[in-house]
Structure 1
Amino acid sequence: MESSENKYNVKNPAVKRILQEVKEMQSNPSDDFMSLPLEENIFEWQFAISGPRDTEFEGGIYHGRIQLPAEYPFKPPSFMLLTPNGRFETQTKICLSISNHHPEHWQPSWSVRTALVALIAFMPTNPNGALGSLDYKKEERHALAIKSREAAPKFGTPERQKLIDEIHEYMLSKAPPVPQLNPSQASKENATNKEDDANQNPQDAGAVAAGEAIASLDVGDRIVEEVDEAPGQLNPIPEGSVAPVRIQAESSSVQLLRRSGPRAPRPNDERLFTWAAVGLTIAIVVLLLKKFIKASGYGAVFMDGS
């Protein structure tokens, strides 16, 4: 990248940060992703990620494009997938918490490496109708994973295509074989999911929405854990986040209920009940006595005498 260093103002914070990330990416490569900027524009990156293991994407090689803003790293990048995958639309800026669609979530301590780790983690998650998302069946995604290995996508100028091809060759040398997916099992899972959705009660809609919100927090926690394992990266979310606190509180409440068991009546409660019964009996006797006096004609005498 010597020519890039000569071409750009290295005193510019964004340029300085990008050049540091390029050197780190080259000196510490990963088997799960590769990304480098174009020679003529270091704010334009090409990348490829491998499909996450133990999913229908495993073994696939998915290319994409990253655009870094002039204010990077204080503003987030945008991401675009170029390889058909069944999870994200191609040549469309996708909506993720790490992308420019949600600048409120972005943190300057994150990097291109951080974002790629997060993108891999996002692939098997539920799209929930997000912009640029797709919800293909597992067998369709599996077929696209196999096809993605055949050749790199064709996109852009010859210089860009050369970089895409180089990244593809590197990823192909690191990619594991595509595992076999049982079509009948995948179809059965899809049918089960549809049946569960059809049997869901309308009054449970609020609970489902709350569950999805909690699930998104859990996904975020998993991403942070994976990012934290990446060399040279800071944990973007402090310890004691929302999800762990909630889980600890619920666990403590359950344990307390299990230890205490049903509450036995206390002696004070029994005495209170006894006095209430006696008071009620006296009130009934007084009421009956007044009715008897009034009925027998002594009521007027009693009134005069008072």
Structure 2
Amino acid sequence: MTGDPYQVLGVPRTASAEDIKKAYRRIAKTHHPDLNADPEAVARFKAASAAYDLLKDPEQRRRYDAGEIDEQGQEQVRARYSRAHAGGPFGGGPFGGGPFGGGPGASDPDLGDVFADLFGHRGGARGFGGFGFGGRGGGMDRRGEDLRHALEVDFLTAARGGRMDLMMPDGAKISVTIPKGVRDGQQIRLRGKGGPGLGKGAPGDAYLDITVKPHPVFRREGDDIHVVLPITLDEAVLGGRVEAPTIDGPVSLTIPAGATSGRRLRLRGRGINGGDQHVELRIAMPATVDPQLRAFFETWRKDHGYDPRRGMMG
């Protein structure tokens, strides 16, 4: 990432954590490599991911705002040295106290702690551990950063589970297992797919923020599936067997004689993870009312007409 992370995400420095998250997700939905292969879009997505990784952590954000780290999350070494050891290289600078001179009352600087603090490791043996100057070593080993990505999943894949190919910000392609029944807003953790570790440090993890695309036929409530099923006039009057869609394919459904719009039928176990499917019937008129149908209902109404709205007006 280059540049101020707030500007990369398009938010003010006073933005809340939720506003920062929303800004990142907006960019991800239009610039993710799986959705937009344009090189500029990929670069924008990578920059937004890096900016979000820095600002999502309250302590990292505080340190960046305070000027202690840069937009890459690296220590501001010059500022650190100038505050802690003002002066020349031997007169109060990094090596300006204790045995190197510095005047009455000067104390030895804990150089091991200085370097350890700069690289994220405090405590342990004193000295220059990890730099080949003695000590116990390992000062440069650090786990990689956790990364966060947006992933849009189609409705049926989320309901039934499956696999999706995903391009990571570094250009690597991986196959991701989508667990059965994953919900909108849930996360999938990819172990070891985050930022690379430092030295012998393990890589971080990647977290996928799931957005489930709506379906034109199915609607989910909990683990239940809801469907509106159109039926013809004759099916409503006479009843019969029709095919109804489910997330696992069409099934045969019995329409009771005299069915009305709004009546609900239940298909047990046809939802997600043992949930049910609820089928709401809706009578659909033919595209064109032919003369024969019109003549039949004109005759029928004379002898069998009824008022379904009786009592509604008080």
Instruction: Check whether TM > 0.5.
Output: no
Give TM-score, length-normalised by structure 1.
0.19
- Higher share in strand: 2
- Higher share in helix: 1
Structure scoring higher RCO (CA < 8 A, sep ≥ 6) equals 1
Give TM-score, length-normalised by structure 2.
0.19
